[in-house]
Structure 1
Amino acid sequence: MSFYKFVTKAFKCFVNIFYKYKVIGAENIPDEGNIIIAANHKSNLDPIFLAAAIENREVAAIAKKELFKIKPLAYILKKLNVIPINREKPDISTIKNILKAIKDGYVLGIFPEGTRIKEPGFGKAKAGLSMFAIKGKAQVVPISIISNYKLFNRVTVYIDKPISFEEYYKQKLTSEENERLSQNVLEVIKENYYIHSK
């Protein structure tokens, strides 16, 4: 068993023991093809909830480069396909690593808001989601993580159908246009969040 599979199995045990954990729409993650998953982000538990939800593909997540300064953590993150990124200004090599992960068959995991939004509600989507989807010729799967993050309470991971960016593949978009397209995905995440929070 690979390290990735071992860890995700441990995550599944953890979420099922300590939360009323439920995944809706797992069939919306295609078994093959270029895919990005995009989810809301309120807690450090979110990557665990996501990794436990996706059983048919390996996820390569993007995380802030500061996490890689802690050597033991950096070792584990690399083993789990996590790609470090400078959130303020991603460099060319990072972008190439991200696009290579998509091309190599990993499901790329992104939080469109770029950081945790601790207060109620949602932040604004960054341009990166749209840019990676278009450059990586990937469909985007919106995922809503619905939880108050308290032990033994409900956690719902709602996975919606993939969104295609194909009409933009040959266009040169501005940063503002990429932000708008990313925000469109975040609006789907928000809508599903509020519908399934009831």
Structure 2
Amino acid sequence: MYYFCTYVLKIILSLFGRIKIYQKENTEISGGFVIACTHSGWVDILWLGVSMLPKQIHYMAKKELFQSTFLKWLMEQLHAFPVDRENPGPSAIKTPRKLLKNGEIVGVFPSGTRTSEEVPLKRGAVTMAGYAKTPILPVAYQGPNNFTDLFKRVKPKIIFGQPIYMPENLPLKQGMEVMMEQLEKSLHDLQTQLREME
């Protein structure tokens, strides 16, 4: 179901303009990892999934999307799992930690909200990666954010940064602080790179 939906999305989205993907070789990571992408609309979620094919992403999604039977079924088929964004708590990282330990990819949007501005990042991506001892792959997207942008044929671009690993010589808490700083810098630099690309 995941592959079917994602390849159909690829065909549909490509009708509005083909995506340019940069540095995809950085996705060749053995084992599970967290993919942390900038977030400016709902289209970036779709293009991120398409650009990672044939790899599959397990997305963290707000619990409200699982309230109806059909939506719950659809989200589960697309490998999404619910999280309470108002009261995350320790259980919020239980599912992603299990996925990461099993070698899966967990997709997170660390800005926590759709925005074209740079905002302080939430710590979820770093917390997951730190406790699961997996790297974080920073990703930046620029392009259409909504239906209007799609019909205007705004060109989509996505760039994959270098994986960020937990420092081996530091305690967990300090190591996660280092990862957080590296993630913020990497996402900023990747967005700058995209703006300078044709």
Q: TM-score with structure 2 length normalisation?
A: 0.87
> Partner of 1:125 in structure 2?
121
SS at match of 1:112: coil
Of all paired residues, the percent bearing the same amino acid is: 25
Q: What is the Cα-based RMSD across aligned positions, in Å? A: 2.1
Is the CA contact 2:130–2:172 (under 8 Å) kept in the aligned structure 1? no
TM-fit CA distance, 1:98: 1.0
Is the CA contact 2:31–2:104 (under 8 Å) kept in the aligned structure 1? no
**What does the per-residue CA deviation read over 1:66-86, in whole Å, with 9 as the maximum and x for residues that have no partner?**
111233122111111111111
Alignment of 1:104-183 (within 5 A): 104-117=102-115, 120-149=116-145, 150-151=149-150, 152-167=153-168, 171-173=171-173, 178=176, 181-183=179-181
Which ranges of 4 or more aligned residues in structure 1 deviate by more than 2 Å? Answer: 91-94, 177-184
**Rounded Cα–Cα distance in structure 2 between residues aligned with 1:88 and 1:187:** 27
**Rounded Cα–Cα distance in structure 2 between residues aligned with 1:105 and 1:24:** 24
TM-fit CA distance, 1:128: 1.3
Q: Which runs of 5+ in 2 are unaligned?
A: none
Q: Which runs of 5+ in 1 are unaligned?
A: none
TM-fit CA distance, 1:9: 0.5
Is it true that 1:73 corresponds to 2:71 in the alignment?
yes
TM-fit CA distance, 1:113: 1.1
**Rounded Cα–Cα distance in structure 2 between residues aligned with 1:74 and 1:60:** 14
Is the CA contact 2:57–2:107 (under 8 Å) kept in the aligned structure 1? yes
**What does the per-residue CA deviation read over 1:40-94, in whole Å, with 9 as the maximum and x for residues that have no partner?**
1010111101000001421111111111123312211111111111123323333
**Rounded Cα–Cα distance in structure 1 between residues aligned with 2:106 and 2:63:** 16
SS at match of 1:33: coil
Q: TM-score with structure 1 length normalisation?
A: 0.87
